[in-house]
Structure formats: structure tokens, C-alpha cells
Amino acid sequence: MGRYPLRKEDVVESFIRSSGPGGQNVNKLASCVTLWHRPTGIRIKCQVHRSQLQNRQEAWRLLQETIDEKYAQELRALTQRKEKIRRQNRRRSLSAKERMLETKRKQAMKKINRQKRAYEKE
């Protein structure tokens, strides 16, 4: 899977205080990192580690993975749509065409038989 190019200009990075265990370090330092990728609207928040630097690296890695997965999904959906159109436009095989025509003949006979019965009752 190809990596989507991640530009730093497209990402808003902010640091806030973490919550949870960590003691004085968590209460005094802004070790939680949030990243917002503007073009896709994806937001990532990371407060796994006590260190801001480690959280920042982890957040960027998670953002890259999330964006790659999003674009991979879009690519799969596009491929599926193209494949479906290709299948729909494909010519029928001779046997499939004969089966379809036979089914149509049977349905037509049913309708004709119904009309005769309706006519006879009146």
C-alpha cells in the first residue's frame, strides 16, 4: 500500500495536559498531543506516554496510518465501482442468453393462459 504524502502545513498540532495516572508530570506539563489534518478532518489525540516527544511521534505515526487507511478504502471503493460497471457491460454468454429467453417464454405463456381463463369466465 502506497503512503499518502503527509504535509506539515496541512496539520494543526497542539499540546494539552494529559489526564489519568502520571502524577506531577501529568498535572504540570502539556504532554498530550493532538493533531488535526485539515484536508480530511481527521483528529488524533495521543497521551499514551508520559513524554511529550514520545506522544508526538506516536500521534504522527497514528495520523499517517489513519490517512493511509482512509485513502486505501476510497481506492478499494472506486475499484469496486469500476469492476461492477465492467461486469454490467459485459456481453452475456450464449447459454445465459438462452436461459433468459426461455424464462421470458415461460412467463409469456403464463400470462396468455391467465388471459384465456379470464375471458372464459365472463
Q: Which helix (H) or strand (E) holds 62?
A: helix 52-89
Assign 3 a pLDDT band (cuts: 50, 70, 90): confident
Residue with cell 433468459: 100
Q: pTM, whole model, 2 decimals?
A: 0.64
CA distance 26 to 17: 6
Residue 54: which residues within 8 A CB-CB, separation 6 or more? 48
Q: Which residue has the higher pLDDT, 29 or 63?
A: 63
CATH 3.30.70.20 fits 8-90, yes or no: no
More confident residue, 38 or 49: 38
Domain boundaries along the sequence of the chain? 8-90, 92-122
SS3 state of residue 119: helix
Pick the range with the lowest mean pLDDT from 52-61, 88-97, 108-117. 108-117
Which residues, including other chains, have CB under 8 Å from residue 1's CB and lie 6 or more apart? 68, 72
| DSSP at 49 | S
Residue 109: what residue type? Answer: M
What are 74-104's pLDDT values in tens digits? 999 999 999 999 998 988 889 999 999 999 9
Q: Are 59 and 32 in contact (CB under 8 A)?
A: no
pLDDT at 121: 60
Confidence (pLDDT) at 6: 85
3-state secondary structure of 14: strand
For residues 65, 67, 71 and 76, what is the CA-based torsion angle, rounded to 10 degrees?
40
What number of residues does the chain have? 122
